[in-house]
Amino acid sequence: MSTTTWLYALLTLSAAVGISYFLGFKPGSGISKVLAATALNGSPSGSEQHDATHDQPPTQDYVEGDAMQDVEEEEIDRRLPPTQDQCLCCLKKVEELGKPMLRCSQCKNAFYCNNVCQKQEWKRHKFNCSLFPPEGLKPARILITKELVDEVRRVDEILKAWLDRVSELTNGLQENVEKINAADLPEALPICRLELIPQFQYKNLPQLQLERHPFRNPIIQIARLYLIALVASHPNPQHRKLLADKLTSVTLPTHLAPLYGPKVMSRPADLSPGEYDTFAEIAPAVMVEPEKVGMDESERGRWIALAVAMKKLWNAGLAPRTAGSAPAVTP
């Protein structure tokens, strides 16, 4: 997909707020269906999954024992992210340089002409850099637990309450979307103050100026939770591969962290803050034909809701609130 296509998709997002697009967004659906299906199959592990209490973070190692035994050696994907021909720092091209670019040894997905450029860029790149496992990428095996389903449903409701209020205040009119202070709605506070249950908390949140950007970290947390749920509820390897290919093929603007699709799909819990930002921003565009990747419209609706929240809240500060003050409204 070209840059233009996904930018176009993003531009239509705020319009989406005003036209009750989210009628199709049913909180908790999609993943609930998979949970129901798992229960119906009556597999012995299926019933245990729902009661299991796990203290470990939900990484690809989340499931231990038998579930991992079917990961054959040949399933491990040892391909590295594709080589880029431009230095991330000074933007020099490989032709000018006359030698191959150096690869970031940690993520393998950032390229520099030399160590000086790499050091200079690190201040920015550290938010986008996450480990590319030295052993290669194993297919993710994440259980759909009751905790995961409940947590996704809870976050869906928080986002939906805010979107419904935005929609109500804008009277379905796109021009009104710009007039309201979406960050100042009472319904925005639960997003701003969101705390996930311990097993889904992301430990690598950046130390941001939280007073100036109170929504950034919550949105990163939501993106990670949704991505874990997405990978968990799509065990079909073909669907995952399609999604991975789509992710890798999107041409991103330079301010977004580059994504390597196969890594996103096999390490959904272990990405960098910047990678979660990028995923949340491009997800609606990547899922334009949700049925092809085994999704339904309502699952895509969840990602659209998050992308709208990002667009409306990302740079928003939270205005000082006095008791009983009313949120900004439109005529």
CB of 77 to Zn ion, least distance (A): 19
Beta-bridge partner residues of 233? none
The SS3 of residue 69 is helix
In the bound state with Zn ion, the residue whose beta carbon lies nearer, of 114 and 199, is 114
Cα 251 to Cα 1: distance, rounded to the nearest angstrom: 7
CB of 263 to Zn ion, least distance (A): 12
Q: Which two tokens stand for residue 156?
A: 């869906």
Site for Zn ion in 74-93 (CB under 5 A): 87, 89-90
Site string for Zn ion, 118-137 (x = CB under 5 A): -----------x--------
The SS3 of residue 93 is strand
How many amino acids of this chain bind Zn ion (CB under 5 A)? 10
Q: What are φ and ψ of residue 111, in 5° steps?
A: -125, 140
Find how far residue 109's CA is from the centre of its chain.
18
In the bound state with Zn ion, the residue whose beta carbon lies nearer, of 132 and 215, is 132
In the bound state with Zn ion, the residue whose beta carbon lies nearer, of 113 and 220, is 113
Q: Is 287 in the site for Zn ion (CB under 5 A)?
A: no
| CA distances to 45, 137, 250, 273, 282 from 126, in Å | 39, 21, 22, 9, 21
CB of 104 to Zn ion, least distance (A): 3
Cα 152 to Cα 302: distance, rounded to the nearest angstrom: 10
Q: Which of 251, 232, 222 is nearest to 1 (CA)?
A: 251
Amino acid symbol at 234: H
Cα 141 to Cα 76: distance, rounded to the nearest angstrom: 13
Q: Is 101 in the site for Zn ion (CB under 5 A)?
A: no
In the bound state with Zn ion, the residue whose beta carbon lies nearer, of 106 and 174, is 106
In the bound state with Zn ion, the residue whose beta carbon lies nearer, of 87 and 142, is 87
CB 172 within 8 A of CB 54: no
CB of 108 to Zn ion, least distance (A): 7
Site string for Zn ion, 102-121 (x = CB under 5 A): --x-xx--x--x---x----
CB of 262 to Zn ion, least distance (A): 16
In the bound state with Zn ion, the residue whose beta carbon lies nearer, of 116 and 329, is 116
CB of 126 to Zn ion, least distance (A): 8
List contacts with Zn ion (CB under 5 A). Answer: 87, 89-90, 104, 106-107, 110, 113, 117, 129
